[in-house]
Each structure stands twice: as structure tokens, then as C-alpha cells.
Amino acid sequence: MADHEDHDLKIEVPIDEFIEQVAERAAERALEKHAAQCPIGKLEKRVDKLEETKAVTVGFVAGASAVGGLIGSLAIGVVAVVAKLFGS
């Protein structure tokens, strides 16, 4: 625990350096407070979730299209083979 005498301690620092340190500390605290309270952070999380959902949906559509195309081409191939067998 700090002694009462610590409050009376005098340190000599150039005024420019002191002002810069005080300004930096104030800016850090302001940014920390802003980051904790800013609603944009919540919006960013929601946008990220929407982007993930869109990517999953596009993936499912592309996968379904690929599977449908494969099944269609196999069906046409089977019909062609059957037509050759019975057509000959």
C-alpha cells in the first residue's frame, strides 16, 4: 500500500513530455471506453454472421447443383445405353 508521503513526491519532467504522457493516457482511456460501448462492434458481429450464413447457403446451392447435374448426366447415359441395347 502506498504511503501518504508518495503523494508529496516531486518528479521533474519536461513540460512537453508530461503533456504528451497525459494526452496519450487520456486517449487510451477514451479509446478503451469507446471500444466497450460502441454499437458498431455489435453490428460487425451481426454482419459477420450474415456473411457466414450466405456462404453456407451458396455452398449448399452449388453442391446441390453439382449433384443434380451428375445425376442428370448419369441418367442420360443410362438411357443412351438402354436405347442402344434395345435399338440394335
Residue 37 inside a domain? The answer is yes
Whether the model pTM is above 0.95: no
Residue 67 inside a domain? The answer is yes
Q: Look up the domain containing 42 and give its range.
A: 11-87
| Mean pLDDT score, 17-37 | 91
Tell me: pLDDT of 41 over 90.
no
Residue 5 inside a domain? The answer is no
The answer to whether the beta carbons of residues 24 and 18 sit under 8 Å apart is no
Higher pLDDT, 6 or 48: 48
Residue 6 inside a domain? The answer is no
Number of domains in the chain: 1
Residue 1 inside a domain? The answer is no
Predicted pLDDT at 58: 93
Cell 446441390 -> residue: 64
What gap in Å lies between CA 12 and CA 19, rounded to an integer?
13
Residue 71 inside a domain? The answer is yes
Give Cα 78 distance to the centre of its chain.
47
What gap in Å lies between CA 41 and CA 24, rounded to an integer?
23
Residue 72 inside a domain? The answer is yes
Residue 55 inside a domain? The answer is yes
